[in-house]
Amino acid sequence: MSQHLTFMLGRETLAIEILCIKEILEYGHPTEVPMMPSFIRGVINLRGAVVPVLDLAARLNRPSQPVTKKTCIVIVEVQLEAERQVIGIVVDAVNEVLEIAASEIEPPPSFGTAIHTDFIAGLGKVNAKFVIVLDVNRVLSIEDAAVLAARTAA
Protein backbone atom coordinates (compact mmCIF):
# COMPACT_ATOMS: atom_id res chain seq x y z
CA MET A 1 0.00 0.00 0.00
CA SER A 2 1.19 3.46 -0.82
CA GLN A 3 -0.39 6.75 0.11
CA HIS A 4 -1.34 9.33 -2.50
CA LEU A 5 -2.62 12.88 -2.18
CA THR A 6 -5.63 13.33 -4.46
CA PHE A 7 -6.50 16.71 -5.90
CA MET A 8 -8.65 18.32 -8.57
CA LEU A 9 -7.67 19.87 -11.87
CA GLY A 10 -10.91 21.08 -13.39
CA ARG A 11 -13.32 18.17 -12.93
CA GLU A 12 -10.64 15.49 -12.96
CA THR A 13 -9.13 13.77 -9.92
CA LEU A 14 -5.39 13.21 -10.00
CA ALA A 15 -2.94 11.90 -7.42
CA ILE A 16 0.71 12.20 -6.42
CA GLU A 17 2.56 9.83 -4.14
CA ILE A 18 2.65 11.43 -0.70
CA LEU A 19 6.38 10.81 -0.23
CA CYS A 20 7.08 13.58 -2.82
CA ILE A 21 4.95 16.15 -1.00
CA LYS A 22 6.52 18.53 1.48
CA GLU A 23 3.51 20.72 2.30
CA ILE A 24 0.30 22.32 1.04
CA LEU A 25 -0.08 26.10 1.00
CA GLU A 26 -3.01 28.40 0.57
CA TYR A 27 -2.73 30.05 -2.85
CA GLY A 28 -0.77 33.27 -2.75
CA HIS A 29 0.01 35.14 -5.95
CA PRO A 30 3.53 34.20 -7.08
CA THR A 31 5.94 36.86 -8.27
CA GLU A 32 6.03 36.70 -12.06
CA VAL A 33 9.43 36.13 -13.65
CA PRO A 34 9.98 37.37 -17.21
CA MET A 35 10.93 34.99 -20.03
CA MET A 36 9.69 31.83 -18.28
CA PRO A 37 7.66 29.12 -20.03
CA SER A 38 3.92 29.85 -20.04
CA PHE A 39 3.19 27.10 -17.50
CA ILE A 40 5.40 28.75 -14.85
CA ARG A 41 3.25 31.12 -12.78
CA GLY A 42 6.27 32.64 -11.04
CA VAL A 43 8.15 32.14 -7.78
CA ILE A 44 7.28 32.27 -4.09
CA ASN A 45 9.40 32.83 -1.01
CA LEU A 46 9.19 29.68 1.10
CA ARG A 47 11.03 30.38 4.35
CA GLY A 48 13.79 32.24 2.52
CA ALA A 49 14.06 29.86 -0.45
CA VAL A 50 12.98 30.79 -3.96
CA VAL A 51 10.48 28.15 -5.14
CA PRO A 52 9.17 28.10 -8.72
CA VAL A 53 5.40 27.66 -9.03
CA LEU A 54 4.10 25.57 -11.91
CA ASP A 55 0.55 25.78 -13.28
CA LEU A 56 -0.10 22.04 -13.46
CA ALA A 57 -3.18 22.43 -15.66
CA ALA A 58 -1.21 24.46 -18.22
CA ARG A 59 1.69 21.99 -18.05
CA LEU A 60 -0.74 19.16 -18.81
CA ASN A 61 -2.12 21.17 -21.75
CA ARG A 62 -5.45 21.93 -20.10
CA PRO A 63 -7.24 25.19 -19.47
CA SER A 64 -6.36 26.82 -16.16
CA GLN A 65 -9.27 27.43 -13.82
CA PRO A 66 -9.83 30.75 -12.03
CA VAL A 67 -8.29 30.99 -8.57
CA THR A 68 -10.84 30.21 -5.82
CA LYS A 69 -10.76 29.74 -2.05
CA LYS A 70 -9.93 26.07 -2.65
CA THR A 71 -6.95 26.72 -4.96
CA CYS A 72 -3.71 25.50 -3.34
CA ILE A 73 -0.01 25.31 -4.03
CA VAL A 74 1.29 21.82 -3.34
CA ILE A 75 5.01 21.90 -2.57
CA VAL A 76 6.71 18.81 -3.99
CA GLU A 77 10.30 17.65 -4.08
CA VAL A 78 11.33 16.09 -7.37
CA GLN A 79 14.49 14.40 -8.60
CA LEU A 80 15.80 16.28 -11.64
CA GLU A 81 18.95 14.82 -13.12
CA ALA A 82 21.34 14.46 -10.15
CA GLU A 83 19.72 17.00 -7.84
CA ARG A 84 16.52 17.44 -5.89
CA GLN A 85 14.36 20.46 -6.68
CA VAL A 86 11.50 21.91 -4.63
CA ILE A 87 8.63 23.07 -6.85
CA GLY A 88 5.15 24.37 -6.14
CA ILE A 89 2.27 23.12 -8.28
CA VAL A 90 -1.05 24.92 -8.49
CA VAL A 91 -4.10 22.66 -8.09
CA ASP A 92 -7.78 23.61 -8.04
CA ALA A 93 -8.54 21.79 -4.79
CA VAL A 94 -6.93 19.20 -2.51
CA ASN A 95 -9.16 16.22 -1.75
CA GLU A 96 -7.72 13.59 0.57
CA VAL A 97 -4.92 11.11 1.14
CA LEU A 98 -5.80 7.66 -0.17
CA GLU A 99 -4.06 4.35 0.30
CA ILE A 100 -3.81 2.55 -3.02
CA ALA A 101 -2.45 -0.98 -3.19
CA ALA A 102 0.17 -1.59 -5.88
CA SER A 103 -2.14 -4.29 -7.29
CA GLU A 104 -4.81 -1.60 -7.80
CA ILE A 105 -2.58 0.60 -9.99
CA GLU A 106 -2.79 -0.19 -13.70
CA PRO A 107 -0.10 0.87 -16.20
CA PRO A 108 -0.82 4.07 -18.14
CA PRO A 109 -3.04 3.64 -21.18
CA SER A 110 -1.50 4.00 -24.63
CA PHE A 111 -4.47 6.09 -25.82
CA GLY A 112 -7.61 7.84 -24.63
CA THR A 113 -6.13 10.29 -22.16
CA ALA A 114 -5.58 14.01 -22.60
CA ILE A 115 -2.42 13.85 -20.47
CA HIS A 116 0.86 12.90 -22.12
CA THR A 117 1.35 9.30 -20.96
CA ASP A 118 4.99 9.96 -19.98
CA PHE A 119 3.60 11.98 -17.06
CA ILE A 120 1.40 9.14 -15.79
CA ALA A 121 2.75 6.61 -13.29
CA GLY A 122 -0.50 4.64 -13.52
CA LEU A 123 -4.24 4.58 -13.05
CA GLY A 124 -5.31 3.82 -9.51
CA LYS A 125 -8.61 2.04 -8.98
CA VAL A 126 -10.45 3.72 -6.13
CA ASN A 127 -14.12 3.02 -5.36
CA ALA A 128 -14.79 1.69 -8.89
CA LYS A 129 -13.29 4.83 -10.46
CA PHE A 130 -9.86 5.58 -11.88
CA VAL A 131 -7.54 8.21 -10.42
CA ILE A 132 -4.64 9.33 -12.61
CA VAL A 133 -1.43 8.92 -10.61
CA LEU A 134 1.15 11.40 -11.87
CA ASP A 135 4.89 10.76 -12.00
CA VAL A 136 6.08 14.08 -10.57
CA ASN A 137 9.67 13.47 -11.65
CA ARG A 138 8.49 13.41 -15.27
CA VAL A 139 5.88 16.18 -15.24
CA LEU A 140 8.78 18.51 -15.98
CA SER A 141 10.78 17.51 -19.02
CA ILE A 142 14.56 17.53 -18.71
CA GLU A 143 14.77 20.66 -20.90
CA ASP A 144 12.17 22.51 -18.84
CA ALA A 145 13.83 21.41 -15.61
CA ALA A 146 17.22 22.69 -16.79
CA VAL A 147 15.68 26.06 -17.68
CA LEU A 148 13.90 26.17 -14.32
CA ALA A 149 16.98 25.26 -12.31
CA ALA A 150 19.16 27.79 -14.16
CA ARG A 151 16.68 30.64 -13.66
CA THR A 152 15.98 29.96 -9.97
CA ALA A 153 19.69 29.54 -9.16
CA ALA A 154 20.56 32.92 -10.70
Using only C-alpha atoms, what is the Rg of the chain?
A: 15
Report the candidate in 99, 121, 95, 91 with the shortest Cα–Cα distance to residue 108.
121
Range list of H helices, 50-141: 56-59, 136-139
Counting Cβ atoms within 10 Å, is residue 109 exposed (0-12), middle (13-18) or buried (19+)? middle
| Domains in the chain with CATH codes | 2-153 (2.40.50.180)
This prediction's pTM: 0.83
Q: What is the pLDDT along the chain (154 residues), one digit of tens a residue?
A: 789 999 999 988 999 999 999 999 999 889 999 988 888 899 999 999 999 999 999 888 888 889 999 999 999 998 777 788 899 999 999 999 999 888 888 887 766 555 566 778 888 888 778 888 998 887 765 455 555 555 555 5
Identify the pLDDT of residue 142: 44
Within 8 A by CB and 6+ apart from 116, the residues are 60, 61
